[in-house]
Structure 1
Amino acid sequence: MKAVLIYGQDNLVDKAVLEVLIRKAWRIHRQLGVYVPIPLETESVIEAIVTSLLSESRKYRVEQLSLFGDSGTSGTREFHEFWDRAVERERARRTKFAQYAIKPDEVAKELEETDRVLGSPEEVKAFLREASQRVGFTFYPFSDSTWVIDTSSLPQPLRERIRKTGEIRVSFSSPPPEGTMFLGRSHPLVEGLSEYIMDTALYPPPGETFVSRCGAIRTGSVSLLTTLYLLRVRYLLHERGKEVPALAEEVFVWGVTGYPSYVTPLPIEKAQDLFERAHPEENLSDEEKEEVVREALQTWEEIDALVESLLTERAASHEETQKRIRRLLRERAVRFEPQFPPDLLGILVLLPIPGTMRG
């Protein structure tokens, strides 16, 4: 695509507009990398041109014509000042935010980590499917991209939160098909369902047994006794120049392998993978479950040093991530101070299938 500029060499108006307006706009673009619009209405620009031409045309010497020049009228000087101030504002804004200087590969790791924490559409769908079976509400596929939820089967707190009645069609992809509602991680139904399940696990009402904080399964995903802990960790964020630190928290799965007398910590990535992948393959009696969970709680009481080391490493990792991001944004770095002990939200014990057990 090409643009052609046509002007008259013997036309003083064309020449002045070319020399001052257009070429000045080009100079600004070369300096900032973007075009800065003239910060005045069209009528004001035309008025400045006409006023300058009429003023100069009264002079006998044509060479004295100075459209938008330094010796022009107060109106044209004001016009230039408006534009120059707009250029300075744009320069300051781009210096402050500096998105144009951020290289995608420098923040790719942080973006990938954020996406992993926030969850994909498939993970949100899997959560709804699992929750529907445990909580007991109707959730079934309507088409390849659409699902149906019967809101009348939802618990009362959730019905009040979403304020929908009857069956609703939902989609986990954006934009959703016409006539459907998009369900993302931050949708009130998803958030409300998460809170409802967590509250029920932490403070179970009488007779509610669809979710628990502790569990044990026998699975082929491990060959050694493995205990997974769901932890909530809090950090104080210290920033230079601020007296009161900010508070941040995260929830993640961590684990150990082995028996109470000798355990080996698992990397968080490995623990998360086992948490998502392991499934029961053989039955366990209630007595066996109670025994291994009791041992897991005992192990938790004896691994303070491992937990402290874990939180210290997490704090250092978060500091390094924040340092990279804040350096790009030209902001001050922060120091993460982990708060001990972390909250133990849940336990899952993975027992190997007999015959595959090691150690």
Structure 2
Amino acid sequence: MKRKKLAGAGLAICVMGAVITACGTGKQTEDGGASSVERSAAYTDGIAKEPGNDGGNSGTASGITEGTVAGQGMEQPQDTEHTASGNLGTESDFPSELQGDTYLNGPNTCPDVTFVSDGPVTAQGGRFLLSAAEDGDAWRYDEFETLKRYMHGEWHQVPIITGRCGNTSYYNVPADKPEAIDIEWQWLYGELPPGIYCLEKYVFPGEVLDADYEDMDEKTAAMEEARKHVCAPFVIHGEPDIQMEVWDVAPTGLKLQFTHMPGGTRDEAEYNFGSWYELEQYTEGEWKTQPVYAEVAWADLAYSIPAEGSEVLEIDWEWLYGSLEDGVYRIHKNMYSGKDASRDLPMYTAFWVEKCREGEK
């Protein structure tokens, strides 16, 4: 289905990094907490790219297109009941508290637009379908998406490792046939580790976009007030099928939690990890190991991850790395399987450090 670009609707947008701030919890608001000029771009300029063919991360996502996802089966969307996009289809893949999550199905979710994954989503990208309950120009969308991850009971925007500037256009959300959007996000976010994610898009009322305004500032303000979001949840599985969550991020440390992924195939092997960790920063187009301030003799400790529940560590690295400057970082831990303790299974989780500015609390 070829999209028809609406003339005269362009806006200049410059997208930079997402923030998990050191000045607070990094919790997202129900509408995503980002303005139209702060959203992360994961769209590949209309070029369909097949994800997962580059020999990268083998993690895949559970299919979220069956049964009750978004209240419809996407095989024949024109013949099915249309409901909000945030409904969870494969319930075993998601924690029970997400069934009533206000971010996925709250007052800022558009009830007239559906956004779901179409088949498997990989650690590098996937295909998503966007459709409206009624045809016409009631709702429109642009080329931008935001990737978020569910960690420690909150949705956090996934830190991006690059930026994109350019003009955006707006398109009608179709009803007769879903719009297929192929997204490769590896260049923007890197490969996704095992975890619970959602891809968010903003949709805008056509009447707001078509109205007359005195200037662009007035139009932008009207769009931000009237916009709604739609969310396509999915789960990335991998080896080990464990998610490593971070929260309470600060320039001098964070909290780290290990939990078995819901759903998927539970490996009978027990996974353990030691006290060792490493920080890397994304700079000059690659991940570089942070220099340390001291020689370290890591304690010979072994932590196991319980089958039910989680293992939590509180890490203070000021003695080892000092206070981190603003930027995108990731923490690296190695897992060990009870079946083969000699084999390292590396795990990474990215985060953003932004030091508190003067006057902030």
Normalised by the shorter chain, which TM-score bucket? under 0.3
Larger of the two Rg values belongs to structure: 1
- Structure with higher RCO (Cα < 8 A, 6+ apart): 2
Q: Normalization by structure 2: what TM-score?
A: 0.26
Q: Which has the higher strand share?
A: 2
